[in-house]
A and B are shown apart, each in its own frame.
Chain A
Amino acid sequence: MPNIERRDFLKLVGAGSVGVGAGFYLRESIKHPMEHLIPHVVAPEDFSTGIDTWYNTVCSMCAAGCGISVRTREGRVKKIEGNPSHPVSQGRLCALGQAGPQVLYNPDRLTGPLMQTGERGSGAFAQITWDEGLSKVADRLDLLRAAERGNRVCLLSQGVRGHLAQLFERFVDQLGSERLLHYDFDHPHTLYAANQRFFGEQRLPYYDLKNTRYLLSFGADYLGSWISPVHHSLGFGHSRQGRPDVRGRFVQIEPRMSLSGAAADEWIAARPGTEGLLALAVAHHILSKGYYQGADRADWIAVLAGYTTTEVAAQTGVPAETIVRLADAFAQTQPSLAIGGGSAGNHSNGVDTLVAVNALNYLVGNLGKAGGLVFNPEPAGPTTHPHQASYRTMLEFVEDARRGNIEVLIVNGTNPVFTLPSAAGFAEALAEIPLIVSLSSFLDETTALADVILPSHTYLESWGDDFPEPGVGFPVGAVSQPVASPLYDTRATGDIILGLAQRLDMNDVLPWSSMEDCIKDGWRQIHERGGGDVRTESFESFWRAVLTAGVWGEETHRESTFTLDKSVIAGIGVQAPEFSGASDDYPFILHPYLSTTLHDGRAANLPWLQELPDPMTSVVYGSWVEMNPVTAKGLGLTEGDLVDIESPHGRIRAPVYVYPAIMPDVIAMPIGQGHAEYGRYARNRGVNPIEILSPQMEPQTGSLASSATRVKITATGRRAELVKTGGNSRDLGRNIVQTTGAGQHSANLNSIPITVIPS
């Protein structure tokens, strides 16, 4: 044994110890991490570990009101599907509806009541309790009510239906205010007005796409964003390949090809705002060919005399032969259907245009029959329409606020700072309002300016109900129930209003302790009224049945005996559209459209939808401006060139996308991006074309003529990469998408029964 020096010994001991320690931790680090098995304290009744529980409720991502079935596991929402028993969605759902779980589990949700501590817009908020928040608002409301200045309170909400709408009405009424406004950018005011004038009712009819053989769509992107895309898609699929004997044909008339334009058999570009002229030319041809033989034929001939095909052809840019061909096919293929909306209704002549479209349905006898336009019966519950605010109403509100006539503004869900043109001056007007309260679940642009934020539950956590408008030809109601327990210290919108009502002693008119009670009370009346497919003696069993099915319906269709008033015929006629700005200074017409993926911007905070390629261009995560290839070439622009888009009311900057299916003097931009707030996924991405829209209105309804803005394009010389999916946009002989002639239609039997009466 050699002598070991003290130093060496210490070295060896040191090395050994280090080794032991390292070895110990090596083993420790590769061990399986400790996991816990957390049991319940008391086992819940409605779910078991490892087994799915499904709840039926209602989608609130857009105004269509699809019924949904939500898959939950261990109390968490996993997936949303369409509710097969709901007549609107029939088991299907769109991308927006599918993204619902990301609303619930969004990392940017507001987690509790807040109070602005700094200047408005500074983003300095302090947490407060619900009691503090509600009292602060209630105290102010109480003072105003006592001073009989209740009309200085405004409740500005997104469109809501069902008993929440009723709750809002009563609450505002009790305050002594008349200012209950529902504002949605995409609300089809002109369509309602046109139906009011032609059919005499403030309700939309049911457009029976599924049974139609020939559809003429004037600007309505019925598959992408118009009214009820899921239901229209079902009808489209069935009409196309769901019937053994016939294949429905679809024609789309619009200046820029939309999703529906791509799906159509024929896409026809008419000059923006001339869709109504085109409809009248079709009507003119129908009359001159003698397809219409009604008693009022002479009146029609008289009123349509000026709309000959040749004359209209010059105005619309659509060849006369095409108009004749469309008119012949439309009149001879029965049942046919004409629908109008979208950009066609968003012009200075919007209402007249849509009246002209209604006239087409009248002239070929499409009213009140399968495959045409079916009138809806009285809805089973409250709907919102009377309070829908037009652009003009919003301007009046802005004016009132400026004059200091608004002292409290309660905002629920809607985001006018984003969805009103900057020319409206909404954000500036807010500065004049002493107290702004927001009930939003997210910190959107409007909520960021609020003094008090009382955040709502998401729709997956709240009680509610819905009566789809437009209906599906028979009365339908659906109850929306919480499918997950609240994630944060938020409350259902109805409960917030009821909380205020309790503090303001409104118990005699708003006697409910919670929204659930309110809904149940409302449905008790529906039960007592009888009818419907759920027939039970006791309300409790009726309620359980409705909750389980998620939907309730009555199989009562309306008898349609429609007689047209003569004065309506005399009023038919479409003026040429008016655009703001001179065409010399502003050579292009801006065509803003609702994004298929982000809608009016409300879905921009959902990462799934931010990363979902736009169907037409495959672009993600940004804005772009679409331009005809010839136009782009003329301006020396290629894809990715940054350009300034300037209207008389503002300027925005976006990269060019060369779009093969748009008129040369039109440029198009998707709405949805350009948020300054609204969470990490939405903020500072792209631009918002609504910002630069001219404040021009359709005179009869006062709705914004959002497709009537002229712009000019200036190259900036800079470039920005458009993020989109790779690949070539042309087939290049690979024969990937194959087509076949029109003759080949076979009895493809993969159709589903399309009219679902809920059971």
Chain B
Amino acid sequence: MNVSIVPGLRALRPAALVGGTLFLGLLVGYWANATWYPGTSPEQPIEFSHRIHAGENEIPCMYCHTQARRSISAGVPSVSKCVGCHKEIATERPQIRKLMSYWQNEEPIPWIKVHDLPDFVHFTHKRHVSAYARAAGIECQTCHGPVETMDRIRVTSRAIDGSFQLDTPWEMGLCLNCHRQHQVEHGTDCWTCHK
């Protein structure tokens, strides 16, 4: 006896075609979202440019992010800090007017967080910007990427070879590679970074 499943399959062909198209669409939709709306460089309430501040004007990072050297978090400058300069500088630009409206309304600027770590990770800026870390050649850019070239902050990660990879979020490898490279004391013990 010779039974063929081909006729049976043939009957399924339209369904397979629809399923295949659905799947293809899924991929396209996923890709489109990841490409055009990656969320790795969100639009901020004020178009603040690190390129102008840190790049062209060479303002040191810790002039504004003052907490970095003494706290776990680098800190975002208070509105008053921005106003401190901008009541004199470039006061007529639309973005600065926006800033001044926040200031006059005594409202904080709802900046959107770009670089984020999971809640189970303990990371302290203090230790990583200490004199010891700087001597080892670790700078803010080592993790945050070439911020001074960015108009809008974008998620950047660093590969083993030192090249920057845009839109790649931080993962544990980034920390571990660096800890290994610099032979950090107990740098690969889980409880050094996990909490």
A: residues with CB less than 8 A from B are: 8, 11-12, 15-28, 31-32, 34-43, 48-51
Min CB gap A679→B, angstroms:
29
The answer on a CB contact under 8 Å between B31 and A41 is: no
The answer, yes or no, to whether B94 is at the interface (CB within 8 Å) is: no
State which of B14, B17, B24, B39 has its C-beta within 8 Å of the C-beta of A19.
B24
Name the A residues within 8 Å of B109 (CB-CB): 38-39
Verify A15–B22 contact, CB threshold 8 A. Answer: yes
Instruction: List 11 A-B residue pairs with CB atoms under 8 Å apart, sorted by A's residue number.
Output: A20-B32, A23-B28, A27-B30, A35-B112, A36-B111, A39-B76, A41-B79, A42-B80, A49-B73, A50-B75, A51-B70
- Asked whether, in the complex, the Cβ of B113 is within 8 Å of the Cβ of A23, the reply is no
- Not counting A12-B18, A35-B112, A37-B76, a sample of 20 additional A-B residue pairs whose C-beta atoms are within 8 angstroms of each other reads A8-B14, A8-B17, A18-B25, A21-B25, A22-B22, A23-B28, A23-B31, A28-B33, A31-B39, A32-B39, A34-B112, A34-B113, A36-B111, A39-B79, A41-B102, A43-B81, A48-B71, A48-B75, A49-B73, A50-B72
| Cβ-defined partner of A34 (8 Å) among B39, B73, B106, B169 | B39
Can you list, as one digit per residue, whether each of B30-51 has a CB less than 8 Å from chain A (1) or not (0)? 1111100101001000000000
- Whose C-beta in chain A lies nearest to the C-beta of B33? A27
Write out the residue numbers on chain B whose beta carbons fall within 8 Å of the beta carbon of A36. 110-113
Query: Is there contact, CB below 8 Å, between A22 and B39?
Result: no
Asked whether, in the complex, the Cβ of A51 is within 8 Å of the Cβ of B71, the reply is: yes
Given contacts A15-B22, A20-B32, A36-B110, contact A41 B78 (CB under 8 A): yes
Distance between A7 CB and nearest chain B CB, rounded to angstroms:
10
Please encode chain B, from 83 to 110, with 1 for each CB lying within 8 Å of some chain A CB and 0 for all others. 0000000000000000000110011111
Least distance between A38 CB and chain B CB atoms (Å): 5
Number of A-B contacts (CB under 8 A): 128
A25 CA to B30 CA in the complex, in Å? 8
Q: Tell me the bound Cα distance from A41 to B80 in angstroms.
A: 6
Count how many chain B residues have C-beta atoms less than 8 Å from C-beta atoms of the other chain. 45
Residue B26, interface by CB 8 Å: yes
Chain B residue numbers with a CB within 8 Å of A24 are 29-30, 32-33
How far does the Cβ of A438 sit from chain B's closest Cβ, in whole Å? 35
Inter-subunit contact B25/A16 (CB<8 Å): yes
The proximity string for B residues 8-19 relative to A, scoring 1 for CB distances below 8 Å and 0 otherwise, is: 000000100111
- B130 at interface (Cβ–Cβ under 8 A)? no
**B71 CB contact (under 8 Å) in A11, A15, A16, A49:** A49
B21 part of interface (Cβ distance < 8 Å): yes
Chain B residues, Cβ within 8 Å of A41: 78-80, 102-103, 106-108
Q: Are the C-beta atoms of B25 and A20 separated by less than 8 Å? A: yes
Within 8 A of A (CB), among B49-83: 67, 70-73, 75-81
Q: Which 8 A-B pairs have the closest CB atoms?
A: A19-B25, A23-B29, A50-B71, A20-B29, A23-B30, A24-B29, A27-B33, A23-B26
Q: Are B26 and A19 in contact (CB under 8 A)?
A: yes
**B residues less than 8 Å from A40 (CB atoms):** 78-80, 108
Judge if B166 is at the interface, Cβ distance under 8 Å: no
Contact B76 A19 (CB under 8 A): no
CB of B128 to closest CB in A, whole Å? 13
User: Which residues of A lie under 8 Å from residue B78 when comparing CB positions?
Assistant: 39-43
Chain B residues with CB under 8 Å of A51's CB are 67, 70-71
Contact residues in A for B81 (Cβ distance below 8 Å): 43
Separation of A51 and B30 alpha carbons in the complex (Å): 41
Residues on the A chain within 8 Å of B70, using CB: 48, 51
CB distance from B67 to the nearest CB of A (A): 6
CB distance A27 to B29 under 8 Å?
A: yes
Q: Which residues of A contact B21 (CB under 8 A)?
A: 12, 15-16, 19
